[in-house]
Structure 1
Amino acid sequence: MSTFLGLPGAGAPELTVLYRGPLASCDYDCPYCPFAKRRDSPATLREDRAALERFCDWVAEQPAVSVLFTPWGEGLVRSWYRRAMVRLSLLPNVRRVAIQTNLSCRTGWLAEGDPASLALWVTYHPGQVAQDRLLTKCRELDALGVRYSVGVVGQPEHLAAAREFRAALRPEVYLWINAAEGRSYTDAEAADWTALDPLFGWSREPHPSEGRRCRTGSSVISVFGDGSVQRCHFVRAPLGNIYDGSYRAGLAERPCPLPVCDCHIGYVHLETLPLYEVFTDGVLERIPYGLDGISRPAAPAGR
């Protein structure tokens, strides 16, 4: 089993950082997203670029770190995110650098990075991009040897497109399905989505989290453009700042204070769930450990 991210057999766990800068603009217009077609001002873009470059300088000085970029908007249409992905992937102290993206950007720049550490968490948005266009991008990633997962929000109107997309992808590529926010699924509906993603059961309903052990705040942190640190994106209590080192005193194992956790980038780190065993060294890019790994442990059918 991999020793990535403090799994059994590892020494001191490396620090995993979920980074989100000021960027909030996106080139897509998804009706379920509050940031659809939002435009950032030139001043905000300059602020975001400077913040990202400063963050990358900080990463370069750390002993061991992995990074997942989780921008509100689309990062890879901005040259500074592409440069950051390449730069960090080439650093010897960076185990993994990944980003959530709609992959609307060109892909040739990825050849400059190290495919052993660079990975993409891609979302397919039916109605925003032609399926053939995104499939072409995925085939380009295959040719470049870039690790990626790709997925769909589980809206009823997306089911047919998701089935077609799954059939067209290489079998080795994991297609994940996110439960649509606020939606309850009947068992029959859940079965349709589970046929595409054997792990859909983990996304189907929020996970009870209050008082339960979570890696966030100890080996996993969220960092924002000014360097401020929270344990995760959803628990607002500050832990300090990376640039003055004050965050280190705030790192400690502590139970989750929220009643439930309903986002993958949060609940994947709950110690009461076996998802580190499922994803091993693919936690950040949401890639399970081999095709056999997506059935071990089995996802719940419902709760």
Structure 2
Amino acid sequence: MDMVGIISTGRYVPEEVEYTRNIAELEGLADKIISDMAIEKVHVAKKEEPSDMAIKAARIAIERAGISPGEINIVIYSSTTSDYLRWSDAARIAYDIDAVNAYAFRIEQFCCGGMAGIDFAYSKLKADLDTKTILVVSADKFEKPIINRWKSASANFYGDGASACILKRGRVIFEIKGTHALTDGSYSHLWKIPVGGLKSPITVEDVKENRFFSDSRKTAAEYLSDEKKRDELFTILGSNNKRVMLELLDRLDMQIKDLDSMVLYNIGKSIMKKIIDIVGIDEEKTSMYIAKDYGHMGPADIVFNLDKMLEDNKFKKGDRIMLFSAGAGFSWSSALIEYRG
């Protein structure tokens, strides 16, 4: 069977930038937090919404692929935020890029969403010969009052941006060797907006009291108040970071030492270093250098970083590259790709 993989990538960020040093006092960011994150700046979408950025990244990937939008059979979109609540943003994206023959839908898996899209696309192309071309696109925007990009998470600062890739069979840039993912829902309650759903419809008082807001630091403090619970969570996170990669490599009859490079999501430097140390790969062979200029862009990180590393000539033909992301829920996702040049 023909190879299945990525034939093009694209990325987009808005022009406006906010520097950590300029907002540190305003947001009350401690020096240690700034040092642990080591994210110097983020791009901020003042006049664009997630679907706007997704469309721009998708058009870049389509142009680079040398295909017509009408050739796309499936559009898969992922985001942790949305222009509107309960809206078909995937349909809007497909329409605006002229993917007139595509089935469009959204995958929600928080920061693993882009990887989930690649996983689905890879499996679909392997199983269904009538499906020939799939667009996977991700975008995110983190804006007050729903999300404070600087303070709503303890592991990163958030930036706005988008990424996209086209997957096909045949001649590819990155051949997908395999994918693997895990979910442990025991701490699923740590990441949510507490009001606005069916369980607790939003009220005027909720808005006034700032309860319609995503604040994982607050929920973590509430649910992880004792050391035993914190140790339990850190054990789950650490073990599954490695497990999702090792189980994939085992299936492919490979070991960590066989990896040439690693693309991971743009969380804070201290957490990224722990993941890299677990894997045992040189920092210079990873995407770690990218995070300082963009921050964490949710599910857009992985393809964004892959595209940036490709532009920076970080890969040579035959390189085996591990893609890894983790997300709220908690979920972990990995994919092994080979650079075909």
Query: Which TM-score tier does this pair reach, normalised by the shorter chain?
Result: 0.3 to 0.5
Bigger-Rg structure (1/2)? 2
TM-score normalised by L of structure 2: 0.31
Q: Comparing both structures, which one devotes a greater share of its residues to helix?
A: 2
TM-score normalised by L of structure 1: 0.33
